[in-house]
Amino acid sequence: MSLETARTEYLNVGDIRFAFRRLGPTVGTPLILLQHFTGTMDSWDPEVVNSLAETRPVIAFNNLGIGTSTGRTPDTVEQMAADAESFVRGLGLSKIDLLGFSLGGMLAQVLAVQHPDLIGKVIIAGAAPRGGEEHLLEVVDDAFSRGAPDVRLPLFFTASEASQRAGRAFVARATARSEGRDPDSGDAVSESQAKAIIGWCARKDEDDATLRAIGQPALIVHGSDDTMFPSINAYNMFKATKDAQLIIYPDSGHGALFQYPARFVAHCRTFLDE
Amino acid sequence: MSLETARTEYLNVGDIRFAFRRLGPTVGTPLILLQHFTGTMDSWDPEVVNSLAETRPVIAFNNLGIGTSTGRTPDTVEQMAADAESFVRGLGLSKIDLLGFSLGGMLAQVLAVQHPDLIGKVIIAGAAPRGGEEHLLEVVDDAFSRGAPDVRLPLFFTASEASQRAGRAFVARATARSEGRDPDSGDAVSESQAKAIIGWCARKDEDDATLRAIGQPALIVHGSDDTMFPSINAYNMFKATKDAQLIIYPDSGHGALFQYPARFVAHCRTFLDE
């Protein structure tokens, strides 16, 4: 079973129907994946997800209004985090770990603080703290203006030959699934999510209160040259979080975790297995 | 065979007799250990060294004037690096990886730049770049004034209970060997090495030319609260080095690699095995 072949399942919570996919063993603490701006389950790198699922249960899902999940995408990180929590509780889970990428890494910070009993360990990749530095709209606009075969090539990878090569390999992996593939997100999603991200970064967080309230072990992973959320964000998040490890990869952009999938999975395992 | 039980061997190069210990398998690229300020082979954490030696040849040695190596400890990083190279060449090695801690991490930077054919991968732990920020003398003086059972408790670990506990475990491991133990370094060593470290940091390196000249993959590991070489050094070294990964550990000081020995070894393996 792999991300590309797993059947999409559905869970009803109240009037919302969540689409999700379960991978890996049935025992062990599940790792819940929290996706990036406009991303669906099929935007994850199958190599990362499938490798993680070799040694632990992994659950990808679409939050409200994404893919074939119903509901309307909210325009705050806090509401998205609350929706993610209702999905997790709806599955009957009482202990999970989180891997949040970009926007998902912001949800992970909120969830870790609000639900210390539910959330064990937290991996925050390519994110920014509350009040952090973001260049979302400029970077997205610039990436779309390039006419690249896939907008993630300029958006997630550096201009170097090695990074672009890794980017093309990632795109090939992430577009392999055709059957039962999640529909792409439209403007309703991107507008609400952009508002959420910009609002998260615009609101200063006095003394990094959110990060300082994270009691769980955290792994912060970032690219050296992330144009959307500059890598100094990761260093600052690390400094403010009690029990965080910081890992930054070379010659990499926002999609650093997909540029070095084997390395990233090894680092996740070292962190989660400890 | 372990660091604590391995017989000390000797190698003559010119008029110098180098003391060294070989651990691990005989095939594979040897990892050469470059030691910290005043440290001998017996100052390494046996857990780190023995675990590394499970999967690769590891060679610890004493540079000039340290332990039972002859010669006089020089007072520049560059000369120490040249001496280390003569030891490695004397062993007949043509390809090695380096793990340099603190002062050893400075030697590793020089060796990587000067000998791209000899040096494969470089692990730089708890170091500073040329022109970096150091507080060696204040920190060492302060640590000795505390009257701790081992000066490395205040010097290498934070004041937190968890870090001090890890520190005591490290000291127990690092003092286990009694037979054939290296004699401690005296004033001749500490004075020359202090001069070398202070000189290295005092000399500004325009545009980080040394780091920019490192072409090898590098892993930079640091503690969150290193008082001797503040952790921003590690971030700055990472930014200036072409192919560097940065890893920083939480609630840890100069001896971060000995505070989290299993984690550090896992990260070294992920890096070296790639």
CA–CA separation, A270 and B221 (whole Å)? 15
Residues of A in contact with B246 (CB under 8 A): 246-248
- Per the CB < 8 A criterion, the answer to whether B68 and B16 are in contact is no
Look at B249 and A245 and tell me if their CB atoms are within 8 Å: yes
What are the tens digits of pLDDT across the range B123-146? 999 999 999 999 999 999 999 999
Look at A247 and B242 and tell me if their CB atoms are within 8 Å: no
Instruction: Note whether residue B153 is domain-resident.
Output: yes
Kindly report the pTM of this predicted structure.
0.96
Residues of B in contact with A248 (CB under 8 A): 238, 245-246
What are the tens digits of pLDDT across the range B182-193? 999 999 999 999
CA–CA separation, B161 and B158 (whole Å)? 8
pLDDT of residue A247: 98
**A212 and chain B in contact, CB less than 8 A:** no
For residues B57-62, average pLDDT: 98
- Name every residue whose Cβ is closer than 8 Å to that of residue B169 and which is 6 or more positions away in sequence: none
Instruction: Note whether residue A3 is domain-resident.
Output: no
CA–CA separation, A98 and A105 (whole Å)? 9
CATH number of the domain encompassing residue A129:
3.40.50.1820
As beta bridge partners, residue A83 has none
Instruction: Note whether residue B4 is domain-resident.
Output: no
pLDDT of residue A1: 86
pLDDT of residue A121: 98
Q: How many domains does chain B have?
A: 1
φ, ψ of residue B50 in degrees (nearest 5):
-65, -35
Q: Left (φ > 0), alpha (ψ -120 to 50) or beta: where does B38 sit? A: left
Look at A270 and B274 and tell me if their CB atoms are within 8 Å: no
Structure tokens at A33: 């994946």
Instruction: Note whether residue B186 is domain-resident.
Output: yes
CA–CA separation, B144 and B155 (whole Å)? 9
Instruction: Note whether residue B255 is domain-resident.
Output: yes
Of B235, B242, B262, the CB nearest to A235: B235
Structure tokens at B100: 């340099």
Q: How many CB atoms lie within 10 A of CB A192?
A: 20
With CA atoms as reference, the chain A residue closest to B271 would be A263
Instruction: Note whether residue A1 is domain-resident.
Output: no
Residues of B in contact with A247 (CB under 8 A): 245-247
Q: Which B residues in the span 250-269 are in contact with A, Cβ-Cβ below 8 Å?
A: 250-251, 262-263, 266-267
B1: confidence class by pLDDT, cuts 50, 70, 90: confident
Q: What are the residue ranges in chain A where pLDDT is below 70? A: none
Q: Which residue has the tokens 């990499």?
A: A252
CA–CA separation, B273 and A201 (whole Å)? 38
With CA atoms as reference, the chain B residue closest to A217 would be B250
Q: Which residues form the domain of B253?
A: 9-273
Residues of B in contact with A241 (CB under 8 A): 250
pLDDT of residue A52: 98
Nearest Cα of chain A lies from the Cα of B176 at a distance, in angstroms, of 26
Structure tokens at A130: 């509350």
As beta bridge partners, residue A96 has A119
